[in-house]
Amino acid sequence: MKKILFTLILIFSLILIANPQVQPAQPPAGPPPGIQNQKPAAPDVFITTGTKSVDLIFRVNGRDGRLYQAYFGKKLANTESLKQSRDAGHPAYATFGTDNLFEPAIRAVHNDGNPSLELKYVSQSFETGTGGSSAVLNKILLKDPEYPFEVTLFIKTFPDEDVIEQWAEIKHTEKKPVTIYNYASSMLHFDAEQYWLTQFHGDWAEEMKMAESQLTAGIKILDTKLGTRAHMYQTPVFMLSLNGKSDEASGEVLAGTLGWSGNFRFLFEIDEKGSLRVISGINPFASEYSLEPGKIFKTPSMIFTYSAAGKGQASRNLHRWAQKYGVLDGTGSRLTLLNNWEATGFNFDEKKLTAILDETKLLGVDLFLLDDGWFANKYPRNNDRAGLGDWQENKAKLPNGLGYLVKEADNKGVKFGIWIEPEMVNPKSELYENHPDWILKLPNRPEHYYRNQLVLDLTNPKVQEFVFNTVDGMLTKNPGIAFIKWDCNRMMTNTYSPYLKDKQSHVYIDYVNNLYNILDRLRQKYPKLPIMLCSGGGGRVDYGALKYFTEFWASDNTDALERIYIQWGYSYFFPAVSVCNHVTSWGKQSLKFRTDVAMMGKMGFDIQVNEMTENELKFCQNAVTSYKRLNDVILHGDLYRIVSPYEENRAVMMYVNEAKSKAVLFGYILNARYGENFNRIRLQGLDPAKTYKIQEINVLTEGRRFGPSESGRSYTGDYLMNVGLNIGSATPLSSVVYEITE
């Protein structure tokens, strides 16, 4: 057996050397001390992956056959010196059980009880042009020499966007199932003087609070264990600055995000030599997975970009990538809308809604979005205590059904959208009465509610069918439905799947994969229908979900002052085209301030139009018109964060189109203390040689409250970027929006 294995390895090595994509290394200058008497090692093999400005280089060490990360960072002029280096690098996908002393990327217990895993390099290959993109998909196969257990590392590089996507596939053909305890998507290593971690955490209505701290020796973990609404406290994103803090325009930064809508974990471990390993993937907590022989365990994608020019560039890289590959129809346009959640709550009927359809038209937006409260009869959905799961129109509120509203909307020249929360159930519902076994809940324990509801057991194929049919049935019956808001209002607690029986530790993973299966099926049938992802606000914001969704609801908090910080936070990782912002009456700021804030992404309204004064209505109508003219720049342009609300009583950001012929600048005075000076700000991203005209939009029809206006002036890009504009005002909570045109 050993002989056969040895021959196989020899053949593999020969294939490797013959493969033109694999460049054998120069032999090292001489063996390091202590190994003089060992037999000569095979030559090292280098595998270079990367983008236009970044290299991620692996080395197969000829001495031990293992795969190492030899380099990750700014593109090297050439890799010859790297090949000369005696330092193999750091393990590319560290295992547990043999000689690894730190956190592993993977841990498995073989079917014979052997708790160790050894992974040796076998082969590599690559594909280009996957999905019509310029991406390169590199595959590196690793195998345990003693057990039929293998891991394929996938490294997909997007050259133009400077983004890398990494994931792993784990497989075995042992006689019985093998339990895997850790299964990272990626493992990256850094050797820097200092490491500064920026994290984004929060809670309902206070999402994406940004905090930066220096990492010290040992482990720091960012994770979630909430299962559903998984990102309520912690979004699966981080920025890591190397060798010191970075700012918007300078410093070395890694920006990373996991495409997974369930439990995730980012683990940062600094070892005794000051090296940092970053292990990203599904949170292995309470999630050991029994892998059947022949089945593939595919991890979600870790998506990351490296910028040598600060956080701004890192965000722009991710935005460009997300528009093309990360968000459904990310390069497309979006529908402006009027929503009724904050305006009416559950309290509406057909007559009221018909009037709102008229207001939708009056406002000039594209669509009316009917929120929660339209369904259930035995236990009507008149509050959040009943009805979830019974997706039939409530006869008292909508005697003529959704069909009537869809038709009415069409008659009035607007589109119609609808809210659903198909993964959930209220105990007070017919669904609960008829299918108590379709629900995640523990035996021998009282039920535990959050927002008076429970989570359906998506691991059960019958439940999957129910969720698919709920959405598909509604769309088949009402083909005029032009938009969906898909909500998910609770996390998992007392988690137990009646369907999974003795495999309870699979529930967090299987839930998410089955949710994706349902979304896959829906997207095959309705490929472009706009669907807003909502989870009590931003409880499920990640690129695993966003490939099925056109946009997400960033937060239930629509107070415009709070919203500046929340949208600021999301802007580090998610493009404006995906972030839904509504003008509401939650905050006490002026209508202008609230409208300006909502305009920074996908704009909507959730406000009582019939209570507006004539002037207010006119202002909003004009804002909608301006937005329709400018939304391409805002939704798809390059974002420059110029003044951070975390650093000043002011926030300024701007979007610039690719041709640098049009930009939109948003400026906000959050507070203005007596005598406070706001310095001129220098614009970014323009063409110095071009001359731009500044035009203020969203101008108040009465009583302007912002400091001296630059409107009507023309400046060169050179002037705007070196001398700058006055974006200051003595009025707290005032704002300005400039349209900047070549």
As beta bridge partners, residue 639 has 655
State which residue, 553 or 619, has the beta carbon closest to ligand GLA: 553
| 493 versus 621: smaller Cβ distance to ligand GLA | 493
Q: Which two tokens stand for residue 590?
A: 């002026």
The one segment of 92-100, 442-450, 531-539, 722-730 that binds ligand GLA by CB under 6 A: 531-539
15's enclosing H/E stretch is: helix 2-18
Q: Report the nearest approach of ligand GLA to the CB of residue 342 (Å).
A: 8
CB of 663 to ligand GLA, least distance (A): 31
Q: Of the two residues 12 and 346, which places its CB atom closer to ligand GLA in the complex?
A: 346
Separation CA 684–CA 692 (nearest Å): 13
**Cβ closer to ligand GLA: 89 or 536?**
536
For 665: left if phi > 0, alpha if psi spans -120 to 50, otherwise beta; the answer is beta
Please tell me the distance from the alpha carbon of residue 650 to that of residue 199, in angstroms, as a whole number. Answer: 22
Where are the extended beta strands (E) located within 144-214? 149-158, 163-172, 178-183, 186-191, 195-201, 209-214
Q: Which is nearer to ligand GLA, 488 or 669 (CB)?
A: 488
- As a whole number of angstroms, the distance between CA 740 and CA 742 comes to 7
Site string for ligand GLA, 562-601 (x = CB under 6 A): ----------------------------------------
String marking each residue 138-157 x if it binds ligand GLA according to CB under 6 A: --------------------
Q: Compute the least distance from the CB of residue 345 to ligand GLA, in Å.
A: 8
**Please, what is the minimum distance in Å from the beta carbon of residue 387 to ligand GLA?**
11
Interaction with ligand GLA in 410-429: which residues (CB under 6 A)?
419
* Cβ proximity to ligand GLA, 360 vs 453, nearer residue: 453
C-alpha of 154 from chain center = 19
* Closer Cβ to ligand GLA, 388 or 727, answer by number: 388
Do strands 297-298 and 301-307 pair parallel, antiparallel, or not at all (unpaired)?
A: unpaired
User: With contacts defined by CB under 6 A, how many residues of the chain interact with ligand GLA?
Assistant: 12
Torsion of CA 587, 588, 593, 597, to 10 degrees: -10
Gyration radius from the chain CA atoms = 28
Hey, which residues between 46 and 75 contact ligand GLA (CB under 6 A)?
A: none
| CA geometry: angle 393, 399, 400, nearest 5 deg | 90
User: CB 603 → ligand GLA: shortest distance, Å?
Assistant: 16
CA distances (Å), 371 to each of 414, 507, 531, in order? 16, 30, 13
Question: What's the per-residue H, E or C state across 664-709?
Answer: EEEEEECCCCCCCCCCCECCCCCCCCCEEEEEEECCCCCCCCCCCC
| Cβ closest to ligand GLA, residue 91 vs residue 537 | 537
Q: Closest CB to ligand GLA among 103 and 606?
A: 606
- Contacts of 210 by beta carbon, 8 Å cutoff, 6+ apart: 198, 199, 200, 568, 569, 572, 646
Give me the residues paired with residue 55 across strands. 50, 73
- Binder to ligand GLA among 241, 305, 489, 578 (CB under 6 A)? 489
The distance of closest approach from Cβ of residue 537 to ligand GLA in the complex, given in angstroms and rounded to an integer, is: 5
Nearest to 678 by CA among 653, 721, 723, 643: 643
Measured distance CA(116)–CA(99) in Å, rounded = 10
- Out of 530, 537, 544, 685, name the contact with ligand GLA by CB under 6 A: 537
**Number of C-beta neighbours around residue 738 at 10 A:** 24
Of the ranges 533-541, 542-550, 572-580, 644-652, which one interacts with ligand GLA (CB under 6 A)?
533-541
Q: With contacts defined by CB under 6 A, name the span among 234-242, 453-461, 467-475, 532-540 that binds ligand GLA.
A: 532-540
Strand 454-455 with 415-420, pairing:
unpaired
Quick note: the x/- pattern for ligand GLA over 660-689, rule CB under 6 A, is ------------------------------
Among 536, 544, 569, 707, binds ligand GLA (CB under 6 A): 536
Piece in contact with ligand GLA (CB under 6 A), picked from 30-38, 505-513, 529-537, 655-663: 529-537
Kindly state the smallest distance separating residue 372's Cβ from ligand GLA, in Å.
Answer: 3
Which of 318/424 has CB closer to ligand GLA?
A: 424
Question: In the complex, which residue's CB is closest to ligand GLA?
Answer: 372
Amino acid at 333: S
363: exposed, middle or buried (Cβ count in 10 Å: 0-12, 13-18, 19+): buried
Q: How many CA atoms lie within 13 A of 27 on its CB side?
A: 6
State the nearest-atom distance from the C-beta of 467 to ligand GLA, in Å: 17
Q: 353 burial class (0-12, 13-18, 19+ CB within 10 angstroms)?
A: buried
Task: In angstroms, give the least distance from the CB of 262 to ligand GLA.
Answer: 19
The candidate with the shortest Cα–Cα distance to 624, out of 360, 428, 437, is: 360
Q: How far is the CB of 388 from ligand GLA (least distance, A)?
A: 9
Q: Out of 534, 603, 630, 664, name the contact with ligand GLA by CB under 6 A.
A: 534
Task: Please identify which residue in 161, 288, 366, 487 interacts with ligand GLA, judged by CB under 6 A.
Answer: 487
Q: Choose the stretch contacting ligand GLA; rule: CB under 6 A; options: 232-240, 385-393, 534-542, 720-728.
A: 534-542
The interface region with ligand GLA, picked from 43-51, 134-142, 150-158, 530-538 by CB under 6 A, is 530-538
* Smaller CB separation from ligand GLA, 149 or 375: 375
Please say which residue, 96 or 419, places its beta carbon nearer to ligand GLA.
419
Q: CB of 233: closest distance to ligand GLA in angstroms?
A: 16
Q: Does 207 bind ligand GLA (CB under 6 A)?
A: no
- 197 or 338: whose CB is closer to ligand GLA? 338
How far, in Å, CA of 227 to CA of 633, rounded? 36
Closer of 281 and 536 to ligand GLA (Cβ): 536
H-helix segments, 614-678: 614-636
| Of residues 536 and 645, the one with the C-beta less far from ligand GLA | 536
Q: How far is the CB of 454 from ligand GLA (least distance, A)?
A: 15
**What are 16's two structure tokens?**
């490797």
Sign of CA pseudo-dihedral 228, 229, 234, 240: positive
Smallest gap from residue 373 Cβ to ligand GLA (A): 7
Site string for ligand GLA, 342-381 (x = CB under 6 A): -----------------------------xx---------
The DSSP code for 324 is I
HEC per residue, 552-611: EECECCCCHHHHHHHHHHHCCCCCHHHEEEEEECCCCCCHHHHHHHHCCCEEEEECCHHH
Return the residue of 174, 556, 559, 596 that touches ligand GLA, per CB under 6 A. Answer: 556
Q: DSSP 3-state assignment of 307? A: strand
Residue 383 vs 493, nearer CB to ligand GLA = 383
Nearer to ligand GLA (CB atom), residue 229 or residue 547: 229
Strands (E), 283-423: 289-291, 297-298, 301-307, 337-339, 367-370, 415-420
Residues in the chain: 742
Name the residues that contact ligand GLA, by CB under 6 A: 341, 371-372, 384, 419, 487, 489, 534, 536-537, 553, 556
